[in-house]
C-alpha cells in the first residue's frame, strides 16, 4: 500500500484547500444559514475540481473532502462526486457518460444519492419507482438522485419528476429533503445489478469517512488553538495534563479515521475488494468521529456551548456523519456478517 499522493492529487488538494479557506469563512457560513453556498460551489466547479476526481480517483476525492471537512463548507461536493461523477463514470453506459459527465464536471448537473435505503423504493413496469426515503442529503440542490430499488438496481431520477421533494432540516446544514416517488419514471444506471449498488455504496462510505477525517481535523485544530491562548490559573490550558491527554486521544482517533479511509480508497482505486475496508473506515469515522467532535467542543469549555461558535459546526457535522454512515453498531453488525460468510480475506 502506498498512500503518498500523486502530483495531480496533491495539486488538487492544495487548490481545494485555498478555495475553501478563502470562501468558506465563519462569516460566509453564518450568511448561508442552512443552505448551500452557491458562490463557493461555482468556484470549485470553475477550478475543475469535481472533474479532476475522474483522474485522481477515490483517494483523490478523499483528500479533497478532507479539505471541505476542515472548513465545514456547505456545498454538495461529496454527494455530487461519489453518486454522480464516480458512479456514472464507472457504471453508466457510454451514452450516459457522454450525456451526463459534462454537466457533472461543470456543476450544472448535480446528482445525490438515496443510499443506503434498503427496500424503501420498488420498481415496476421497467423503471417506474414508488416509495419514499425520509431524508436525502443535498436533495434540494440536486438535478438528479440515484435511487436503489428492492433488488439493489440503481436508477437515476430527475428531481423535477419526483412526486414530492419536501425540505427537511438535519443536524448539519446539508440542504436535505424527503424524497417521495409515485410511479415516477427513472433511468437505469448502466446495466449493472447489485454489484454496481455495492460498489457505489462502498465508495460513498469511504468518501464520507474522508469528509469526517477533515471535520475532526478542523475541530481538533480549533481546540489546540483555543487551549494554547486561553489561560487558567496563570498558564495556558494546553499545559494542563488532562487537556493534553484529551487532545492526544482526539489526534489518534483522527489519524485512525484518516488512515482507514486512505486504505479503503486505495483498495477501491486498485480494483481490489474494498467492501470490508469501506465498512472499517465507516466504523472508525462513526465511532471515533463522535469522540473527536465531543472532545473539540469540551476543550473549548463554556465557549463550546455557544451555538454560533465555529467549533459547534464541527460538532454538528460530526454527529450528522455518524448518523449518515449508519452508526457504529450497525456497521459492526454488517462487518460481522461479512466475516461470518468468509467474504473477507
Read off the pLDDT of residues 248-307 as tens digits, 9 standing for 90 and up. 999 999 999 999 999 999 999 999 999 999 999 999 999 999 999 999 998 878 777 777
The cell numbers describing 22, all together, are 478563502
Read off the pLDDT of residues 38-68 as tens digits, 9 standing for 90 and up. 999 999 999 999 999 999 999 999 999 999 9
At residue 226, the pLDDT reads 77
Burial of 103 per CB tally in 10 Å (0-12, 13-18, 19+): middle
At residue 304, the pLDDT reads 72
Alpha carbon distance 262, 250 (integer Å): 18
Nearest by Cα to 179 from 220, 137, 209, 213: 137
Q: What is the DSSP string of 178-240?
A: EEEEEEEE-EE-TT--HHHHHHHHHHHHHHHHHHHHHHHHHHHHHHHHHHHH-EETTEEGGGS
Alpha carbon distance 45, 30 (integer Å): 22
At residue 345, the pLDDT reads 53
Query: Which pLDDT band, with edges at 50, 70 and 90, does 1 fall under?
Result: confident
Read off the pLDDT of residues 79-123 as tens digits, 9 standing for 90 and up. 999 999 999 999 999 999 999 999 999 999 999 999 887 789 999
Nearest by Cα to 188 from 93, 279, 278: 93
Alpha carbon distance 65, 82 (integer Å): 11
Q: What is the DSSP string of 88-109?
A: HHHHS-HHHHHHHHHHHHHTSS
Read off the pLDDT of residues 143-189 as tens digits, 9 standing for 90 and up. 999 999 999 999 999 999 999 999 999 999 999 999 999 999 999 99
| Cβ-contact 110, 141 below 8 angstroms | yes
Read off the pLDDT of residues 15-41 as tens digits, 9 standing for 90 and up. 999 999 999 998 999 888 888 999 999
More confident residue, 241 or 17: 17
Amino acid at each position: 500500500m502506498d498512500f503518498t499522493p500523486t502530483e495531480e492529487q496533491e495539486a488538487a488538494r492544495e487548490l481545494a484547500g485555498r478555495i475553501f479557506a478563502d470562501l468558506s469563512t465563519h462569516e460566509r457560513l453564518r450568511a448561508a444559514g442552512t443552505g448551500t453556498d452557491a458562490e463557493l460551489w461555482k468556484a470549485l466547479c470553475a477550478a475543475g475540481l469535481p472533474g479532476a476526481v475522474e483522474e485522481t480517483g477515490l483517494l483523490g476525492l478523499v483528500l479533497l473532502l478532507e479539505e471541505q471537512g476542515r472548513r465545514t463548507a456547505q456545498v454538495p461536493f461529496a454527494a455530487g462526486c461519489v453518486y454522480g461523477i464516480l458512479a456514472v463514470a464507472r457504471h453508466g453506459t457510454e451514452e450516459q457518460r457522454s450525456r451526463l459527465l459534462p454537466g457533472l464536471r461543470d456543476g450544472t448537473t448535480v446528482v445525490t444519492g438515496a443510499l443506503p435505503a434498503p427496500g424503501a423504493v420498488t420498481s415496476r413496469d421497467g423503471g417506474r419507482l414508488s416509495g419514499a426515503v425520509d431524508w436525502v442529503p443535498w436533495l434540494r440542490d440536486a438535478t438528479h438522485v440515484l435511487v436503489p430499488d428492492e433488488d439493489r438496481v440503481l436508477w437515476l431520477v430527475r428531481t423535477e419528476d419526483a412526486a414530492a421533494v419536501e425540505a427537511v432540516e438535519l443536524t448539519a446544514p446539508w440542504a436535505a429533503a424527503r424524497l417521495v416517488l409515485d410511479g415516477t419514471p427513472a433511468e437505469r444506471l448502466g446495466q449493472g445489478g447489485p454489484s454496481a449498488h455495492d460498489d457505489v455504496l462502498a465508495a460513498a462510505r469511504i468518501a464520507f469517512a474522508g469528509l469526517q477525517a477533515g471535520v475532526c481535523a478542523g475541530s481538533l485544530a480549533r481546540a489546540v488553538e483555543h487551549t494554547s491562548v486561553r489561560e487558567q490559573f496563570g498558564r495556558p490550558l494546553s499545559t494542563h495534563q488532562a487537556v493534553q491527554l484529551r487532545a492526544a486521544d482526539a489526534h489518534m482517533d483522527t489519524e485512525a479515521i484518516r488512515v482507514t479511509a486512505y486504505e479503503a480508497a486505495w483498495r477501491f482505486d486498485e480494483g481490489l475488494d474494498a467492501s470490508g475496508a469501506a465498512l472499517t473506515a465507516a466504523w472508525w469515522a462513526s465511532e471515533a468521529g463522535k469522540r473527536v467532535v465531543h472532545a473539540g467542543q469540551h476543550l473549548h469549555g463554556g465557549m463550546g456551548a455557544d451555538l454560533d461558535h465555529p467549533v459547534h459546526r464541527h460538532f454538528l457535522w460530526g454527529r450528522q456523519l455518524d448518523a449518515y454512515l449508519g452508526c457504529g453498531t450497525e456497521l459492526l453488525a454488517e462487518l460481522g456478517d461479512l466475516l461470518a460468510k468468509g467474504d473477507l480475506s
